Every structure is written in structure tokens, then in C-alpha cells.
Structure 1
Amino acid sequence: MLARAAVYFFIKIKLFILKVMNKNTDFGKSFSFDVSTKIRAGNNKLSIGENVYLRSNPRGYHAGMPFPTTILLDKEGAECFIGDNCRINGAYLHCQKKLVIGKNSVIASGVHIIDSNGHILNSNNRTKGRDIPADIIIGENVWIGLNSVILKATIIGNNSVVAAGSIVKGEYPANSLIQGNPAKLVKILEIEDENCNSPQGR
């Protein structure tokens, strides 16, 4: 009981520090996170909706969790918006331009969502700066499976499922089942389709 109270108190302190260190942030009601969760936004815009949980503790999670949930906005003008009721489980979000995750979405452990390539392909210019980032827009009620990678310039429509281990880039309509490396649209899901409720790799 005392240990739980200590953890709760420590999380409250960390939330206060996050608000001080990340000045342009909005945290919704019932926003929660585990102690090891990492958030670094600086003066960039970070908005996290109500009832969002950033899980970093593998205890009770049904799969492995190789690293804590990390949200990094490290380029001036970057914007990240996470909608209400989202669950992010040991995923890495790196935003240099704009990242949107719609409400009621679930992101499994080991997922990387990165809106830039990290470096320029041409080695002669690599030391002169990074490549140009591009928006990532993830719709509402999207399920992204274990160890998937979402690359820059990607739009995923509402109610879509990304199968575990997929490498995703491009535009996909609502109700898409997305799978593979490179990822492809496998089919359009029906409301009664089992995959809508039990996507691969939670």
C-alpha cells in the first residue's frame, strides 16, 4: 500500500516536471503514464487528450516490451496530437513536423512512428542537415500491431488495422487491413469482420 502511494506521488511530481520542462503542452483529464515513460517536447506543441495511457511497464502486458514509451519532439515547430482514449504501449514516437494519432487508437509495443528519415541519403550532404520531414496522420480507432514502423508521409484512415511487423508508408483509406514489408492494403474491413475487433499484434 505504501509502495503504491509512493509511486503515485512520484508520478505526480514527474507530471509537474514535464509541464515545467515542456512549456507548450496540454494534458487531458485522466492522462496517465508509467514512471519510466519519456517525454521531451521543449517549446514544441504536444497535446495529449483525456483518458490517455502511456504504458512503459511490461507487467501485465501480454507481449514483450523492449523499451518504455518515448515521445520526442526535437525540431522547432514540431507538433504532436494524441486524441482521447488512446493506449500507447512501449512505442517510440519521434516527431519533427506533425504527428496526429486519432482518438480511441491503440499502439502496441515495439512500434516506431517517425516522421523523418533521420539523415540525408546522399553521404556528401549528410553533415549539412537532416532530410525534410513529412506529416503522419493516424485516424481514429486505429490498431497498430507489434513492432510495426510508420514512416513519414503516411495517412492511415479511421478504423484501420496494421498487422504486426509491417513497414508502412503512403495513404490508406478507412477500414483498411494493412500488412507487410512494404505494407500493402490487404482488404477493406467490414464492421462485423473479426479483424475489426481482434487485430493482429495488440
Structure 2
Amino acid sequence: MSGRQRSANAVSAIREATLYGADPNNKHPMEGFPQICFIKNTVVNPNIIIGDYTYYDDPVDSENFERNVLYHYPFIGDKLIIGKFCAIATGVKFIMNGANHKMSGLSTYPFQIFGNGWEKVMPQIGELPFKGDTVVGNDVWIGYESTIMPGVKIGDGAIVAAKSVVVSDVPAYTIVGGNPAKLIKQRFSTEAIAALLEIAWWNWSIEKISRNLELIVSADIDALRSCE
């Protein structure tokens, strides 16, 4: 192969790669706009799991998403799991299980953490409320300054309105908002939602996603189901 052919092949490969969208391993995929960060590349806590292409939008410090995951103590062991292609707006907070106080007694004050004899009332295993892992599905949009409480499960394709406080699970492809967050509407029919969850386009190869972007952002489920 000649040098000219190698150069042509290299140029062709670069052009082809650009057709497949942003590099998920690039912290800041929008050149010159650090406000957007693919946060799987900046999170170091092993109990925070982030999918490809999920971004956090923050004009102050988009790389430090972990500062918004509160009361996440390693000895508790709960996880925050966020799927692929999620959009997380500025100031979204995740409250983890470490925020909980014992509520079965007359006082909720955590005397034990201050020691000096007060540790004698250290709660036993099972006495502190534990809601389990917090799980956000794929293609979820969480609006500005929303708060997600411990153990909440947010389904694929859901939308959380700005400044909501989400205290209970959110079904797939529904819109919720308010404090506490309530159902605003279901985005599509029940049959359409079932089809979308079966298609699960976010699990396709990035090549297939790129070829079918027009269908993914359209409202033609039948066409999306039949694409190759």
C-alpha cells in the first residue's frame, strides 16, 4: 500500500468516526464548552455507576458531579446507578441512605455520632431506615435543582421537572414534577411504552444509533422497531 493510499484510508477512517457522534470517553465532548461533562469519566466513587453519554450540565464545575451525591457513606454500601444517555441539569441532588436517622425512638437526634459516652445508643443493624440503591434508567432527563431521595427508581425515558423532590418511584416514560413529585402525564400510550422498552435503543451499537437518529428523535415507533 502506498503512502498516499494509507493517508486516504486514515482520512476516511476519521471521517467515518465523526459520523458516530461524540466520544463517550471525552470528559467535555463539546469543544470550548466545559459546562457539559460526560460524568462517567470524572466519577471515582465505585458506588456511583454512570452509563455512556450521560452528561451533567453545570457552569461552575461540571466535572465535580460527586459533590451532588449527599450522605453517601461507604460503610452503608448503597449505590447510585445512572444509565446511558441521561441529561442531568445544574444543581440536581441525590440524597443517599446515610441521611437517614433512627425514627423508632422518641428522639431522632444522632447522639451516638458525638461519642464521649453517647455511643452507647448506637443504632443496631436494621434500626436505621434503608431504602436500597438509587437507580436512574436510560434516556432520563432530570431538571434543574431537582432532588432525588434514597432508594428511588426512575424508569427509562422519564422526565423530572425542575425543582422537583422525587420521593417515590417514577414509571418509565412518564413526566413528574412538584414537591413531592406527582405524575403530570404519561409521555406515550401504554402500548407504545412497552414497545420502546422492548426496543431499548440505548443498548444498540453506537453505529446503529447513529444511522437511525432521525427515527430515535421522531415519534414513529413502528419505524424504529424495524430499523437495522
TM range (shorter): 0.5 to 0.7
Residue type of the alignment partner of 1:142: V
1:32 to 27, 31, 34: 27
Q: 2:175 matched to which residue of 1?
A: 177
Q: Say if 2:54 and 2:87, in contact at 8 Å, map to a contact too.
A: no
Q: 1:186 matched to which residue of 2?
A: 184
> Over aligned residues, Cα RMSD in angstroms?
3.6
1:20-169 to structure 2, matched below 5 A, reads 30-32=25-27, 39-41=43-45, 44-54=46-56, 56=58, 58=59, 65=60, 69-71=64-66, 74-76=73-75, 78=77, 97-116=78-97, 118-121=99-102, 122-123=108-109, 125=111, 127=113, 128=122, 132=130, 134-169=132-167
How far 1:184 moved relative to its partner? 0.6
Q: Distance in 2 between matches of 1:48 and 1:171?
A: 19
Larger relative helix fraction: 2
CA deviation map 1:66-101 (0-9, x unaligned): 8863326541474xxxxxxxxxxxxxxxxxx02111
Q: Distance in 2 between matches of 1:182 and 1:45?
A: 26
Q: 1:4 matched to which residue of 2?
A: none
Q: 2:200 matched to which residue of 1?
A: none
Q: Distance in 1 between matches of 2:62 and 2:84?
A: 23
The verdict on how the C-alpha distance between 1:32 and 1:190 changes in structure 2, with shifts beyond 3 A counting, is same
Q: Distance in 2 between matches of 1:69 and 1:141?
A: 21
Q: Which one has the largest radius of gyration? A: 2
Larger relative strand fraction: 1
CA deviation map 1:149-188 (0-9, x unaligned): 0001211111111000000011121111110001111110
Q: What SS does the aligned partner of 1:103 have?
A: coil
Q: Distance in 2 between matches of 1:152 and 1:168?
A: 9
Unaligned runs of 5+ residues in structure 1 are 1-27, 59-64, 79-96, 198-202
The verdict on how the C-alpha distance between 1:49 and 1:161 changes in structure 2, with shifts beyond 3 A counting, is closer
Q: 2:220 matched to which residue of 1?
A: none
Q: Distance in 2 between matches of 1:51 and 1:103?
A: 6
Structure 1-normalised TM-score?
Answer: 0.55
Q: Say if 1:109 and 1:146, in contact at 8 Å, map to a contact too.
A: yes
Q: Distance in 2 between matches of 1:46 and 1:66?
A: 18
Q: Distance in 1 between matches of 2:180 and 2:61?
A: 23
CA deviation map 1:5-37 (0-9, x unaligned): xxxxxxxxxxxxxxxxxxxxxxx9524156999
Unaligned runs of 5+ residues in structure 2 are 1-22, 29-33, 103-107, 114-121, 193-216, 218-228
